[in-house]
Amino acid sequence: MASPHPTRARISIIGAGPGGLTCARILQRHGIAVTVHDRDPGPDTRDQGGTLDLHADNGQIALREAGLLDRFFELARPEGQEMRRMDLDGALTFHAVPAPDETFKPEIDRGELRALLLGSLRPGTVRWGRTLDSVGGPADGPRRLRFTDGTTLEADLVIGADGAFSRVRPALSPGVPQYTGVSFLEAWFSDVGNRHPGIAELVGPGSAAAADGERGLFAQRNGGDRIRVYLIRRVAADWITAGGLTADDTDGIRALLLDEYAHWSPSLRRMISDNEGPYVHRPILALPVPHTWEHQPTVTLLGDAAHLMPPLGVGVNLAMLDACELALALANAATVDEAVRGYEETMLPRSVETARALEGGAEHLLSADAPDFDGPVAEPSPPRSWG
């Protein structure tokens, strides 16, 4: 079939994460109708994860095109740009403090970013409780979306913004995420000024990291006087069950961790022993490099669905830049096919170049001189659409 003009196309975005919502917002600003489908029953169904830093050269560009940059700066925490690195005794070895007017990569909680984007969309844009099962139909359209509740719909363009385990990706590529050999365990701390003052002092207003070459720790200040700590380890994917433990055996996992981190200082080990509630296992996954596909005029991908990489400072920023460029391509093209082709001609080379630079980069998180990074990927296991 002939590719329609974007203003006459039926466009479905799968995934109400920052990429999918950014794309929808910019499309609507240009008079293009769009519907977003997300597997969550509602916007507040689950914890949205930690904090994000949105960079001036990608994530903030997208927010500017979305007309939301000023509001972002009202919500963001520029002090969150502070970065500390410590040795195993808890002594500072590196301390980067942002200037008072520094706005290159201020932090914002994922939940606040999602609320900002959702609030900017027309009522009814997001359809909650819609878990995609598969994408069918001919490559030139229309495509048929089948959902797990048995319903179907037709679309002239399907945009996969549904994260690491994308249900849209198989329509374009056989690529599946692979375990990198490195896992995170997330631990939570709340009301840290009163309940965990020692941890609050160590972490400061931004992030703090330490590593010994085999294991690491990354602590990140969140809004609401909270801190999330990520314990980084090179382990087998099934390390919990292989050790005779279960994911909810908090005491057993804590004992194992305290043994592994026995040579670390007591001040750092408090981030292992004093956490509130269970640990959350987050294995680090990545798509094969390069990950590309043959162009189709009716399906494309953005964010982690297109280029899942280790968490080394790109993640959400690339997803939002992808979303912005795709939406602008649709706003300025004569046909959907032309827009998708133009978008992929820019996005795919960029993502391949970045993925090659970061390939194997999860190992750097264990290095004693590990680089600054955005924090763990949003995509836990089992898969989620926020990513």
Domain ranges of the chain: 6-78+102-177+287-360, 179-285
CA distances from 135 to 5, 157, 161 (A): 21, 11, 14
Quote the CA–CA distance of 189 and 105 in Å, as a whole number: 24
CATH number listed for the domain at residues 6-78+102-177+287-360: 3.50.50.60
What's the one-letter identity of residue 361?
Answer: G
- Closest to 189 measured CA to CA, from 284, 270, 266: 270
The pLDDT of residue 326 is: 98
Which stretches does DSSP call E strand in the chain?
11-14, 35-37, 51-53, 83-86, 92-96, 107-109, 126-127, 132-136, 143-147, 152-155, 157-160, 178-189, 207-211, 215-222, 226-234, 280-286, 299-301
Beta bridge partners of 94: 85
pLDDT tens figures, 161-181: 999 999 999 999 999 999 999
Which residues in the chain land under pLDDT 70? 47-48, 369-387
Which stretches does DSSP call E strand in 63-138?
83-86, 92-96, 107-109, 126-127, 132-136
- Give the number of other Cβ atoms within 10 Å of residue 130's Cβ: 23
The pLDDT of residue 344 is: 98
Strands 157-160 and 299-301, sheet pairing: parallel
Quote the CA–CA distance of 210 and 203 in Å, as a whole number: 11
What's the one-letter identity of residue 276?
Answer: E
What's the one-letter identity of residue 60?
Answer: Q
Quote the CA–CA distance of 217 and 240 in Å, as a whole number: 18
- Closest to 264 measured CA to CA, from 101, 79, 387, 86: 86
Quote the CA–CA distance of 336 and 77 in Å, as a whole number: 38
The pLDDT of residue 375 is: 44
The pLDDT of residue 381 is: 27
Mark residue 31 as left, alpha or beta (left: phi above 0; alpha: psi -120 to 50; beta: remaining): left
Quote the CA–CA distance of 365 and 50 in Å, as a whole number: 18
Beta bridge partners of 285: 179
The pLDDT of residue 384 is: 33
Find out whether 141 and 1 touch, Cβ atoms under 8 Å.
yes
Quote the CA–CA distance of 336 and 141 in Å, as a whole number: 11
Quote the CA–CA distance of 38 and 269 in Å, as a whole number: 38
Quote the CA–CA distance of 291 and 358 in Å, as a whole number: 13
Backbone angles phi, psi at 330, to 5 degrees: -65, -35
The pLDDT of residue 47 is: 67
Peptide bond into 382 cis (omega under 30): yes
Find out whether 103 and 73 touch, Cβ atoms under 8 Å.
yes
Please name the CATH architecture into which domain 179-285 falls.
2-Layer Sandwich (3.30)
Quote the CA–CA distance of 27 and 11 in Å, as a whole number: 10
Rounded (10°) CA dihedral 325, 330, 336, 341: -30
Quote the CA–CA distance of 125 and 68 in Å, as a whole number: 18
pTM of the full structure: 0.93
- Closest to 39 measured CA to CA, from 20, 22, 62: 20
Q: Output the DSSP codes for 164-227.
A: TT-SSGGGT-----EEEEEEEEEEEE-SHHHH-HHHHHHHTTSEEEEE-SSEEEEEEEETTTEE
The pLDDT of residue 103 is: 94
- Which DSSP symbol is given to 372? P
